[in-house]
Amino acid sequence: MKLFIYDHCPFCVKARMIFGLKNLPVRLVTLLNDDEHTPISMIGQKMVPILQKDDGSYMPESMDIVHYVDNLDGKPLLTGETNPAISEWLKQTSSFSGKLLFPRIANADFEEFATDSARHYFTEKKQAFAGDFTTLLADSADYIVQLEEALQQLSPLIHSPEAVNGTLSTDDIHLFPLLRSLSIVAGVTLPSNVEAYRNRMARRSDIPLLFDMEQ
């Protein structure tokens, strides 16, 4: 199978996670961020991730891919119960996390930004949504304070480094991608159990953190 992705994309991380957690092979194909033709030719719209199944057909939508791959062998891993507090935490942090992440992602050495036009495409789209990147970077200290307060609130929700609720669930698929993205932000202190969870989930899912791009 092939999985068409952007490395920075948290939805793509969700789809990548299930392959790593289940130790299943997949060929990752990174598209340029401004390549509209390829995904539209596959699924009729520009979005990733896209899974190309063994029969050649295409499947979009990260969680559809996760559930499909998890159940291929009839032995799903994501059997744990979910905690509404996790989804609420993710919803609350979404109000400011992008303001920290988008300017740094735009400056980083991701494969999907291999051309100037691809990087410009991302920058224009995200600035229209989140605001001027120069201003956002100048306000980073304030956003980091918000983030660290939020991470303290997350800490008591982490039951184990192996799985946020003790048993692997879709909460892990939703939570780890944001924590992975936040590893690109320099100067953030995580509670020790949140850091342990992030590090362990990165190893289990075989998805490197972004410390080499830290800004």
Domains of the chain: 2-70 (3.40.30.10), 84-213 (1.20.1050.10)
Which residues touch 96 (CB under 8 Å, ≥6 apart)? 143, 146, 147
Question: Could you tell me if residue 56 is left (phi over 0), alpha (psi between -120 and 50 degrees) or otherwise beta?
Answer: left
CA distance 173 to 14: 5
* Per-residue pLDDT band at 63 (split at 50, 70, 90): very high
What is the rounded average pLDDT of the residues 77-106? 97
Burial class (CB in 10 A: 0-12, 13-18, 19+), 130: middle
pLDDT of residue 136: 97
> Percent of the chain, pLDDT > 70?
100
What is the rounded average pLDDT of the residues 121-134? 96
pLDDT of residue 192: 98
Q: Do residues 69 and 18 make contact, with C-beta atoms less than 8 angstroms apart?
A: yes
* Per-residue pLDDT band at 176 (split at 50, 70, 90): very high
* Per-residue pLDDT band at 34 (split at 50, 70, 90): very high
Query: What is each CA distance from 77 to 37, 52, 85, 90, 170, in whole angstroms?
Result: 35, 21, 21, 22, 10
pTM of the model: 0.97
What is the rounded average pLDDT of the residues 94-102? 96
What is the rounded average pLDDT of the residues 27-43? 98
pLDDT of residue 135: 97
pLDDT of residue 44: 97
Determine which helix (DSSP H) or strand (DSSP E) holds 38, and give its type and residue range: helix 37-43
Q: What is the pLDDT of residues 156-168, one digit of tens each?
A: 999 999 999 999 9
Mean pLDDT of the chain: 97
* Per-residue pLDDT band at 170 (split at 50, 70, 90): very high
The residue among 54, 107, 115 whose CA lies nearest residue 213 is 107
Structure tokens, 67? 């559930």
What is the rounded average pLDDT of the residues 124-139? 96
CA 64 to chain centre: 15
CA distance 185 to 100: 7
Structure tokens, 119? 């990087």
